[in-house]
Amino acid sequence: MTQHKPLDKPLPLPWPSAFDAPLGPGWQPTFGAQPLADGSARFRVWAPRAQSVAVHLPERGTAVPMAPLGAGCFEAVVPGVPAGTAYGYCLDGGALLPDPASRHQPAGVHAPSAVVDPAAFAWTDAAWRGLPLEALVYYELHMGTFTPEGTFAAAIARLPHLRELGVTALNVMPVAAFPGTHNWGYDGVGLYAPHAGYGGPDGLKALVDAAHAAGLAVILDVVYNHLGPEGNYLHAYGPYFSGRYHTPWGDALNYDDADCEPVRRFFIDNALHWITEYHLDGLRLDAVHGIFDFGARHILAELGAACHAQARRLGRQVSIIAESDLNDVRVITPETSGGWGLDAQWSDDFHHAAYALLTGERGGYLADFGGVGQLARALTHGYVFAGDYSTYRRRRHGNSAAGVAGARLVVCIQNHDQVANASRGRRLGTLAGAARQRLAAALLLCAPGQPLLFMGEEWGEPAPFHYFTSHTDPDLARAVTEGRRREQAGFLGDAPFADPQHPDTVAASRLNWDLPGQTPHAAMLAWYRALLRLRREQPALHNGDMARARVSWDAAAGWLVLQRHDEHGPAARLICNVSAQAQAVPVDEAGGPWQLAVWSGDAAFGGEGAQAPPEAWPGEAAAAGGQSQHTIPLGPWETALYLQGEAR
């Protein structure tokens, strides 16, 4: 970890007036370059480690001294600075550094920043108000591999596919400027600057605008637990990092140590800038268990409250969603009840339970999973580990999610992390086969939790998804390769190692858009579309009510039945054979009559079912004097969804 001398004296407060600027449509970030109405630009930077700061305009060959405002903040207003002008800061006469709050890095993270006019883009989404949390069906995508071109513009052309699929929200992996040409985005260092190779600021705005026109929300993945190692110049500016804590990814950010207030402002401003300037519908906060703050008000509580307040002023719905492996409902508990007040969190236990059961994998953290009962618990309780002992962690883990709405728990059967890590780059269909993927998809889209799909999942994309980087520092590149090899030791088995720095690794991870129209991929796509349509149309499948979800199962026989209820529509039953042998799954006669909605063994969905389940059964209408049982024949790894009611 890089060590720096502490500041010689404490930073005085109150902060300059800009620190407490009111929110609203005209809100501006505290730091960075801001074009002014008279053609000049105001530059402001927090650099308490410097005695003097100058803003340098390399195209003019001039450097303008910046006036100290106090609290380590420097400012200059420079006339005749149009959008697109290159600039950087020189600290104490040193080399030119990019702006920590740069809105654009057109030549990369080591090059000068560029002035951006945030009001220049011609938006057409004035009528868009966003979507409520419970209406979000997420589609996670990596911008660089979602299309062959790997750009925001190319993604726009694929929006009709997503709309027809039935998802409602793009969940875009981080786009903040990173070193090199390709990266997952979690090594970002220009946190205000969309990666130039994807299309830069205007490209992202065009994607969001087009998504809104298509009725799709856009959630952006942001990283507030660390910065990437290459191109990270924050150490030179001030105490952005703390030596108190350590993360697996790099130095911990300074949210609660001495002189942390401007650091907190920098990241809260970053969240507000995405929501305000880019019209984003929400943020997904990466790995919040790597954010350390033991102050009286947690940084995420403050950030979430600021984002919600700004959303109200803008008249839009904004959701703040945390990735957390803590199984701690404090993340989504209102501040008034002692929580952080975020809207939702990723809940990995559903993935782990379903994945371990369907694949038999037990490496790494999957050692805790594999039983049918754990999947049943994930469906009805959200967390599998809610204060229970974890063999993998060798301690108790989690607390209870009782009473939490399903919309607050984002669940999946595949995402970027799980494919690249737990699956060693292999997608579920490749690893376990199409039948088990269809079963997993039905469990996901009939579960009370809020579903997330990973790009290409809907057509059974066979291309792997690997971890990849393009660091330009040779020593760092070697360290990343060896570090990844060690990380994967618990999962790798006999699978080949994908070097993150090798160009073939990213090339192999790109989607093939010829496949959705081809056999057998078109049939898998039809399955996902059918399930998403039923989820959208049936209140019992989208009400997110875990309290009204009922599960029966037999671990020895390998079957599970999920029943969902809603007063505004028919009950639903998902009957699952989670075994490699055909069997007749017993179901009680409660309710009825029952009508078959979809069956994964149907040839239309790529199935090879030898015996179709009944189109209907009368349920308790046929039972004399009480409960009796009916059986539904299902082939290996098959599932059938029934709705209560007469045939239509």
Residues recognised as catalytic = 286, 323
Q: Collapsing DSSP states into helix, strand and coil, what is residue 626?
A: coil
Residue type, 361: E
Backbone torsion region of residue 253, taken as left when φ is above 0, otherwise alpha when ψ lies between -120 and 50, otherwise beta: beta
Neighbours of 54 (CB within 10 A): 22
The residues, ordered by sequence, that sit 6+ positions from 329 with a Cβ below 8 Å of its Cβ are 339, 399, 400, 401, 404
Joined tokens for residue 375: 């999947």
In the block, tokens 């800061």 appear at 89
* Strands 559-564 vs 450-454: parallel, antiparallel or unpaired: unpaired
DSSP string over 337-360: GTS---SEEE-HHHHHHHHHHHH-
Closest by CA to 321, choosing from 290, 289, 346, is 346
Residue 588 has phi, psi (to 5 degrees) of -75, 165
CA pair distance 420, 577, nearest whole angstrom: 27
Q: In Å, what is the CA distance from 34 to each residue of 76, 80, 512? A: 11, 12, 41
517-523 long-range contacts, Cβ below 8 Å, gap at least 24? 520/434, 520/460, 520/606, 521/459, 521/460, 521/461, 522/459, 523/603, 523/604, 523/605, 523/606
At CA 16, angle to CA 13 and CA 17, rounded to 5?
Answer: 120
* Helix locations, 382-433, DSSP H: 416-417, 428-432
Joined tokens for residue 74: 């420097």
Q: In Å, what is the CA distance from 223 to each residue of 94, 507, 525? A: 29, 25, 32
Neighbours of 51 (CB within 10 A): 9
